[in-house]
Protein backbone atom coordinates (compact mmCIF):
# COMPACT_ATOMS: atom_id res chain seq x y z
CA UNK A 1 0.00 0.00 0.00
CA UNK A 2 1.36 3.41 -0.95
CA UNK A 3 1.82 6.17 1.63
CA UNK A 4 -1.09 8.06 0.07
CA UNK A 5 -3.33 5.00 0.26
CA UNK A 6 -2.38 4.43 3.90
CA UNK A 7 -3.24 8.04 4.72
CA UNK A 8 -6.60 7.73 2.98
CA UNK A 9 -7.34 4.48 4.80
CA UNK A 10 -6.38 5.96 8.17
CA UNK A 11 -8.53 9.04 7.56
CA UNK A 12 -11.50 6.82 6.67
CA UNK A 13 -11.06 4.80 9.84
CA UNK A 14 -10.76 7.98 11.88
CA UNK A 15 -14.12 9.14 10.53
CA UNK A 16 -15.65 5.76 11.35
CA UNK A 17 -14.24 5.77 14.90
CA UNK A 18 -15.49 9.27 15.57
CA UNK A 19 -18.93 8.43 14.20
CA UNK A 20 -19.20 5.30 16.34
CA UNK A 21 -17.57 6.45 19.57
CA UNK A 22 -16.91 10.19 19.46
CA UNK A 23 -19.80 11.07 21.77
CA UNK A 24 -19.33 8.29 24.31
CA UNK A 25 -18.46 8.93 27.92
CA UNK A 26 -14.90 8.26 29.05
CA UNK A 27 -15.37 4.76 30.43
CA UNK A 28 -17.50 3.61 27.49
CA UNK A 29 -14.95 5.06 25.06
CA UNK A 30 -12.12 3.19 26.75
CA UNK A 31 -14.08 -0.05 26.83
CA UNK A 32 -14.84 0.15 23.11
CA UNK A 33 -11.34 1.04 21.97
CA UNK A 34 -9.35 -1.21 24.31
CA UNK A 35 -11.50 -4.35 23.97
CA UNK A 36 -13.14 -4.01 20.57
CA UNK A 37 -11.22 -1.76 18.18
CA UNK A 38 -7.57 -2.14 19.24
CA UNK A 39 -7.25 -5.30 21.36
CA UNK A 40 -3.59 -5.89 22.12
CA UNK A 41 -2.44 -2.85 20.14
CA UNK A 42 -3.36 0.10 22.36
CA UNK A 43 -1.38 1.70 25.19
CA UNK A 44 -1.57 4.65 27.56
CA UNK A 45 1.04 7.42 27.65
CA UNK A 46 1.22 8.94 31.12
CA UNK A 47 3.48 11.45 32.81
CA UNK A 48 2.19 10.48 36.28
CA UNK A 49 1.73 14.21 36.74
CA UNK A 50 -0.72 16.42 38.61
CA UNK A 51 -3.92 15.03 37.07
CA UNK A 52 -2.73 11.67 35.75
CA UNK A 53 -4.45 9.64 38.44
CA UNK A 54 -7.89 10.33 36.96
CA UNK A 55 -7.15 8.79 33.56
CA UNK A 56 -5.16 5.91 35.06
CA UNK A 57 -8.03 5.15 37.43
CA UNK A 58 -10.46 4.94 34.50
CA UNK A 59 -8.10 2.64 32.60
CA UNK A 60 -7.68 0.46 35.71
CA UNK A 61 -11.46 0.11 35.96
CA UNK A 62 -11.68 -1.04 32.34
CA UNK A 63 -8.47 -3.06 31.79
CA UNK A 64 -5.68 -2.80 34.40
CA UNK A 65 -3.35 -4.83 32.18
CA UNK A 66 -3.31 -2.13 29.48
CA UNK A 67 0.33 -1.12 28.82
CA UNK A 68 1.23 2.19 30.48
CA UNK A 69 4.15 3.97 28.81
CA UNK A 70 6.04 6.25 31.19
CA UNK A 71 8.77 8.53 29.88
CA UNK A 72 11.59 8.88 32.39
CA UNK A 73 13.58 11.72 30.83
CA UNK A 74 16.34 11.61 33.46
CA UNK A 75 15.24 15.12 34.44
CA UNK A 76 12.04 14.37 36.37
CA UNK A 77 11.26 15.41 39.91
CA UNK A 78 12.01 12.73 42.49
CA UNK A 79 8.43 13.21 43.67
CA UNK A 80 7.13 12.08 40.28
CA UNK A 81 9.02 8.78 40.47
CA UNK A 82 7.70 8.14 43.99
CA UNK A 83 4.17 9.08 42.91
CA UNK A 84 4.34 6.64 40.00
CA UNK A 85 5.09 3.78 42.35
CA UNK A 86 2.30 4.83 44.71
CA UNK A 87 -0.30 5.05 41.94
CA UNK A 88 0.69 1.74 40.39
CA UNK A 89 0.14 -0.01 43.73
CA UNK A 90 -3.06 1.88 44.50
CA UNK A 91 -4.71 1.23 41.12
CA UNK A 92 -3.42 -2.29 40.49
CA UNK A 93 -1.86 -1.47 37.11
CA UNK A 94 0.10 -4.48 35.91
CA UNK A 95 2.02 -3.43 32.78
CA UNK A 96 4.14 -0.34 33.40
CA UNK A 97 6.79 0.22 30.75
CA UNK A 98 9.46 2.76 31.66
CA UNK A 99 10.87 4.47 28.58
CA UNK A 100 14.22 6.25 28.77
CA UNK A 101 16.30 8.29 26.30
CA UNK A 102 19.61 6.95 25.07
CA UNK A 103 22.59 7.81 27.25
CA UNK A 104 24.24 9.71 24.41
CA UNK A 105 21.12 11.87 23.99
CA UNK A 106 21.00 12.63 27.73
CA UNK A 107 24.65 13.64 27.60
CA UNK A 108 24.06 15.75 24.48
CA UNK A 109 21.31 17.73 26.21
CA UNK A 110 23.00 18.32 29.55
CA UNK A 111 22.33 22.08 29.40
CA UNK A 112 20.47 22.35 26.11
CA UNK A 113 17.17 23.00 27.89
CA UNK A 114 18.48 26.50 28.66
CA UNK A 115 19.12 27.46 25.03
CA UNK A 116 17.06 25.06 22.90
CA UNK A 117 14.24 23.39 24.88
CA UNK A 118 12.68 22.07 21.65
CA UNK A 119 15.77 19.98 20.92
CA UNK A 120 15.94 18.81 24.53
CA UNK A 121 12.32 17.61 24.37
CA UNK A 122 12.95 16.00 21.01
CA UNK A 123 15.88 13.89 22.21
CA UNK A 124 14.62 13.10 25.69
CA UNK A 125 10.93 12.56 24.94
CA UNK A 126 9.94 12.42 21.27
CA UNK A 127 12.65 10.02 20.07
CA UNK A 128 12.30 7.46 22.89
CA UNK A 129 8.51 7.53 22.67
CA UNK A 130 8.68 6.91 18.93
CA UNK A 131 10.71 3.77 19.63
CA UNK A 132 8.41 2.64 22.44
CA UNK A 133 5.18 3.08 20.52
CA UNK A 134 6.26 1.11 17.46
CA UNK A 135 3.71 -1.65 16.99
CA UNK A 136 0.85 0.14 18.74
CA UNK A 137 -2.08 1.24 16.60
CA UNK A 138 -3.54 3.63 19.18
CA UNK A 139 -2.39 5.62 22.21
CA UNK A 140 -4.52 6.92 25.08
CA UNK A 141 -3.51 10.24 26.64
CA UNK A 142 -4.73 12.60 29.33
CA UNK A 143 -5.09 15.83 27.36
CA UNK A 144 -7.89 18.15 28.47
CA UNK A 145 -9.52 21.07 26.68
CA UNK A 146 -9.52 23.37 29.70
CA UNK A 147 -5.71 23.43 29.62
CA UNK A 148 -6.09 25.68 26.58
CA UNK A 149 -3.71 26.21 23.68
CA UNK A 150 -3.72 23.43 21.10
CA UNK A 151 -5.90 21.33 23.41
CA UNK A 152 -8.86 23.71 23.61
CA UNK A 153 -10.94 22.21 20.78
CA UNK A 154 -9.41 18.76 20.56
CA UNK A 155 -11.72 15.87 19.53
CA UNK A 156 -11.69 12.70 21.65
CA UNK A 157 -10.13 10.73 18.77
CA UNK A 158 -7.45 12.12 16.46
CA UNK A 159 -4.84 10.81 14.05
CA UNK A 160 -1.30 11.31 15.26
CA UNK A 161 2.20 10.54 14.08
CA UNK A 162 2.77 7.72 11.62
CA UNK A 163 -0.93 6.90 11.42
CA UNK A 164 -1.27 6.12 15.15
CA UNK A 165 -4.67 7.03 16.57
CA UNK A 166 -4.73 9.25 19.65
CA UNK A 167 -7.52 8.87 22.19
CA UNK A 168 -8.19 11.61 24.75
CA UNK A 169 -11.02 10.42 27.05
CA UNK A 170 -10.78 13.45 29.36
CA UNK A 171 -10.70 16.15 26.70
CA UNK A 172 -14.23 17.38 27.54
CA UNK A 173 -13.84 17.18 31.30
CA UNK A 174 -13.84 20.42 33.28
CA UNK A 175 -11.39 21.27 36.00
CA UNK A 176 -14.21 20.83 38.51
CA UNK A 177 -14.92 17.31 37.23
CA UNK A 178 -11.26 16.38 37.59
CA UNK A 179 -11.32 17.60 41.19
CA UNK A 180 -14.55 15.72 41.83
CA UNK A 181 -12.99 12.49 40.55
CA UNK A 182 -10.04 12.88 42.92
CA UNK A 183 -12.44 13.34 45.83
CA UNK A 184 -15.00 10.66 44.97
CA UNK A 185 -12.43 8.02 44.02
CA UNK A 186 -10.11 9.00 46.88
CA UNK A 187 -7.18 9.23 44.50
CA UNK A 188 -3.77 10.23 45.88
CA UNK A 189 -2.37 13.59 44.79
CA UNK A 190 1.03 14.24 43.30
CA UNK A 191 3.15 15.64 46.17
CA UNK A 192 4.02 18.82 44.21
CA UNK A 193 0.38 19.85 43.74
CA UNK A 194 0.35 21.17 47.31
CA UNK A 195 3.23 23.47 46.32
CA UNK A 196 1.29 25.06 43.45
CA UNK A 197 2.36 22.83 40.56
CA UNK A 198 -0.62 22.12 38.29
CA UNK A 199 1.20 20.62 35.29
CA UNK A 200 4.37 18.70 36.03
CA UNK A 201 7.13 17.72 33.62
CA UNK A 202 10.93 17.93 33.84
CA UNK A 203 12.21 19.95 36.77
CA UNK A 204 14.28 22.49 34.76
CA UNK A 205 11.26 23.59 32.71
CA UNK A 206 8.45 23.42 35.28
CA UNK A 207 7.40 25.97 37.88
CA UNK A 208 4.34 26.47 40.11
CA UNK A 209 1.47 28.44 38.61
CA UNK A 210 0.11 31.65 40.07
CA UNK A 211 -3.59 32.15 40.88
CA UNK A 212 -5.54 32.79 37.68
CA UNK A 213 -2.94 31.23 35.37
CA UNK A 214 -3.81 28.28 33.16
CA UNK A 215 -2.68 24.86 34.41
CA UNK A 216 0.12 24.69 31.82
CA UNK A 217 1.45 28.20 32.39
CA UNK A 218 4.22 26.70 34.50
CA UNK A 219 5.62 24.66 31.63
CA UNK A 220 8.46 26.33 29.68
CA UNK A 221 7.37 29.67 31.16
CA UNK A 222 8.48 32.64 29.08
CA UNK A 223 9.65 30.41 26.21
CA UNK A 224 6.63 30.74 23.88
CA UNK A 225 6.32 26.95 24.10
CA UNK A 226 3.41 24.90 25.45
CA UNK A 227 3.95 21.35 24.14
CA UNK A 228 6.91 18.98 24.23
CA UNK A 229 6.16 17.46 20.84
CA UNK A 230 4.90 13.97 21.71
CA UNK A 231 1.39 14.99 20.65
CA UNK A 232 2.50 16.50 17.34
CA UNK A 233 1.35 15.01 14.05
CA UNK A 234 4.90 14.06 13.15
CA UNK A 235 7.94 12.83 15.03
CA UNK A 236 10.48 14.75 12.95
CA UNK A 237 13.13 16.98 14.44
CA UNK A 238 12.13 19.88 12.24
CA UNK A 239 8.41 19.75 12.96
CA UNK A 240 8.16 22.71 15.31
CA UNK A 241 8.48 20.59 18.43
pTM attached to this predicted model: 0.87
Give the pLDDT band (50/70/90) at residue 71.
very high
Terminal-residue alpha carbon distance, the chain:
29
Give the pLDDT band (50/70/90) at residue 52.
very high
Confidence at residue 234, expressed as pLDDT on a 0 to 100 scale: 38
* Residues, the chain: 241
With b for 16 or more beta-carbon neighbours within 10 A and e for fewer, the 52-84 pattern comes to: bbbbbbbbbebbeebbbbbbbbebbbebbeebb
Domains in the chain (CATH in brackets) are 3-196 (3.40.50.620)
Spatial separation of the C-alpha atoms in residues 144 and 175, rounded to whole Å: 9
Give the number of C-alpha atoms closer than 13 A to the C-alpha of residue 94, restricted to the C-beta side: 7
Question: Is 121 among the catalytic positions?
Answer: no
Are 154 and 144 in contact, with CB atoms under 8 Å apart? no
pLDDT in tens, 11-45: 999 999 999 999 999 999 999 999 999 999 999 99
Q: Which of 120, 121, 202, 228 is catalytic?
A: 228
Are 159 and 166 in contact, with CB atoms under 8 Å apart? yes
Spatial separation of the C-alpha atoms in residues 199 and 192, rounded to whole Å: 10
Instruction: Say which range, 76-85, 151-160, 172-181, has the weakest mean pLDDT.
Output: 151-160
pLDDT in tens, 191-229: 999 999 988 999 988 999 988 888 778 887 777 676 666
Average pLDDT, the chain: 88
Q: pLDDT > 90: what percent of the chain?
A: 61
Contacts 24+ apart (CB under 8 A), 200-203: 200/47, 200/49, 200/50, 200/77, 200/80, 201/47, 201/49, 201/76, 201/228, 202/73, 202/75, 202/76, 202/113, 202/124, 203/75, 203/76, 203/77
Confidence at residue 231, expressed as pLDDT on a 0 to 100 scale: 58
Are 55 and 142 in contact, with CB atoms under 8 Å apart? yes
CA 238 to chain centre: 21
Confidence at residue 1, expressed as pLDDT on a 0 to 100 scale: 64
Query: Burial level of 29, CB count in 10 A (0-12/13-18/19+)?
Result: buried
Rg of the chain in Å (alpha carbons): 17
pLDDT in tens, 110-143: 788 888 888 889 998 989 999 999 899 999 999 9
Give the pLDDT band (50/70/90) at residue 4.
low
Torsion angle (degrees, nearest 10) of CA 118, 124, 129, 132: 160
DSSP one-letter string for 149-211: GGGTT--SEEE-GGG-EEE-TTTT--HHHHHHHHHHTTPPPPGGGGGT-SS--BGGGB-PPPT
Confidence at residue 227, expressed as pLDDT on a 0 to 100 scale: 67
Amino acid sequence: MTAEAKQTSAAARLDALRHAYGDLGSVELLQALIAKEFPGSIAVTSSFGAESAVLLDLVAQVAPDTPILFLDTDALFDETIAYREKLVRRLGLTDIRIIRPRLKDVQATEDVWRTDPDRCCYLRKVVPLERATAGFAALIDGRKGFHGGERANLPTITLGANGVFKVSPLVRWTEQEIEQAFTERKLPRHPLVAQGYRSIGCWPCTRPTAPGESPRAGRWAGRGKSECGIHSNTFSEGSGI
